[in-house]
Amino acid sequence: MIIRFILLLLGALASGALYAQTPGSLKSDADVERLFANTCGWCHSDGGRVKGKGPKLMGTQLTDSEIATRIKVGKPGYMPSFAAAFSEDDVQAIVHYIRGLKPRQ
């Protein structure tokens, strides 16, 4: 479990979770989509539309609050915490992005 967590954390760091994004700097839907792809896309495939190493997020039954908490706190052994990487506004933008996911046409 610890090794898996370390690998997930390294993947998040390598993906750019802390890349040139500063907290609160998301200005557009494209910024959020790019941030999701570079940070979350390592585990949540096709922008969160299909299961990858992490679960499919499109159509999730989790509440907005549960999604925000998962982003901030993570899930031990499965998902690292991103509390230090994202502001509250960033987290809410990601939740909004997840809620707006639709199948690709």
| Ordered structural domains, the chain, with CATH | 2-99 (1.10.760.10)
> Do residues 84 and 77 make contact, with C-beta atoms less than 8 angstroms apart?
no
Q: What is the pTM of this model?
A: 0.74
Q: What is the pLDDT of residues 30-68, one digit of tens each?
A: 889 999 999 999 999 999 999 999 999 999 999 999 999
The token duo for 53 is 């190493």
Q: What is the pLDDT of residues 6-35, one digit of tens each?
A: 545 445 444 444 444 444 555 678 889 999
> What is the CA angle 74-46-36, rounded to 5?
45
DSSP annotation of 36 reads I
Q: Using CA atoms, how far apart are residues 55 and 59, in angstroms rounded to an integer?
A: 11
Q: Quote the mean pLDDT of the chain.
A: 82
